[in-house]
Amino acid sequence: MTRDVAIIGVGMTKFGEFWERGYRSLITEAGSKAIIDAGIDGKDIDAVYVGSMTPGRLIGQEHVGALVADYAGLTGIPATRVEAACASGGLALHQAFLAIKSGLYDIVVVGGVEKMTDVSTEHATVALAGAADQEWEGFHGITFPGLYAMMARRHMIDYGTTEEQISMVAVKNHANGKLNPNAQFQYEVTLEDVLHSSMVADPLRLLHCSPITDGAATVVLASSEKAKKLCERPIWVRGSAIATDTLSLHERKSITRVEASIVAGKKAYEMAGVKPDDIDFAEVHDCFTIAEILAIESLGFCKMGEGGKTTENGETRIGGRIPINTSGGLKAKGHPVGATGIAQAIEATWQLRGQAEKRQVKGAKVGLAQNVGGSGATCTVHIFSPEK
């Protein structure tokens, strides 16, 4: 019987376009806030994990595990960078979870960070395309809007999903983002706005796409023994799982079925001893609005093919049957890729502590976070609860 793991502190920067700030400034702010929130001291920390995808290509810096430990004043302790494209944060969270489970470390800080806006959008898009299969996809010129556009079109053909439904994800997530003081876009958009925004990759328009974002997020994890000692209301990591799929889209049997999300979800549900019906809210990876529809289907919140209808019915709104992306999601909160998986865990923590203010899901007892790398080659699923 291995020990349990809890979140005892969280902290994040505002997400946005911060030309005046650098990578190390962002992660240091998020880390400091999490450490203060946990009420611990630097010397209590046994190890650091950092989820980050693009520092090599966007700021010329690799080796960011040691960098973050250095700038946090924690020089000496083990520090590990983990990368799985846009799932880097969720993957780092799983590694930190394993590190505590191993018995070698008791308190582990896990951060996610990306500094993306100091380069041209073209440069950022090319760097992000490193998440796809370079030999079979990237070299032929396809970028992520193109990959997700194919998934969206196929979903429309197979299930009758409409442009309106795909657009309603953006309308909902902007409405949630308006309530989130850390969101990049704190304003609403109408269905008309989304449907008339510029076409990016048919059928995906500008307002179906998450933005390029700077930001950082950090959580402090502790073993059950330490958590009980240090924290009045620990949030337990009840389930933590990763699964993979083929890197390239064309190798899959179906491009509308996110197999890695299905597999990781099943494992996480089993570990947590819960079913999809037990989940009170979820943060899912809406890098494009179609991805949220695929996510709620793959996690069992609705039947396959009914993600569009479920959204249209308002079931995923705050106050609905299963609120999705109360934070605003990647679409409105922003998507600093390495930070995203960690920020999802932070929103879950705030919801489960009852600290989500205007976004609060009433009576929330169990939350889920789903983080996706690339077009679904890596998925992580975490399940959190204030009860063990």
Q: Residues with catalytic annotation? A: 86, 335
53 part of the interface to its own copies, by CB under 8 A: yes
d(CA 48, CA 111): 8
Q: Name which of 60 and 181 has its Cβ closer to its own copies.
A: 60
4 part of the interface to its own copies, by CB under 8 A: no
Ramachandran region of residue 87, left (φ > 0), alpha (ψ -120 to 50) or beta?
alpha
Distances from the Cα of 247 to the Cα of 135, 244, 298, 329, 379, angstroms: 10, 8, 18, 24, 12
Q: Least distance in Å: CB of 59 to its own copies?
A: 7
Q: Taking the alpha carbons of 321, 265, 101, 219 in that order, is the dihedral positive or negative? A: negative
Q: Least distance in Å: CB of 369 to its own copies?
A: 16
Q: Which helix (H) or strand (E) is 224 found in, with range?
A: helix 224-230
194 part of the interface to its own copies, by CB under 8 A: no
111 part of the interface to its own copies, by CB under 8 A: no
Work out the burial of residue 56: count CB atoms within 10 Å of its CB; fewer than 13 is exposed, 13-18 middle, 19 or more buried: middle
221 part of the interface to its own copies, by CB under 8 A: no
d(CA 6, CA 19): 35
Interface with its own copies (CB under 8 A), residue from 106, 214, 245, 283: 245
Residue 166's nearest CA partner among 145, 177, 182, 152 is 152
Interface with its own copies (CB under 8 A), residue from 10, 99, 279, 322: 99
Q: Name which of 74 and 168 has its Cβ closer to its own copies.
A: 74
Residue 5's nearest CA partner among 101, 78, 91 is 101
The stretch among 82-90, 146-154, 229-237, 363-371 that binds its own copies (CB under 8 A) is 82-90
Query: Which residues form the interface with its own copies (CB under 8 A)?
Result: 2, 22, 24, 47, 53-57, 59-67, 69-70, 74-85, 91, 94-95, 98-99, 101-104, 126-127, 129-135, 138-139, 241-247, 251, 259-260, 263, 373-374, 377-378
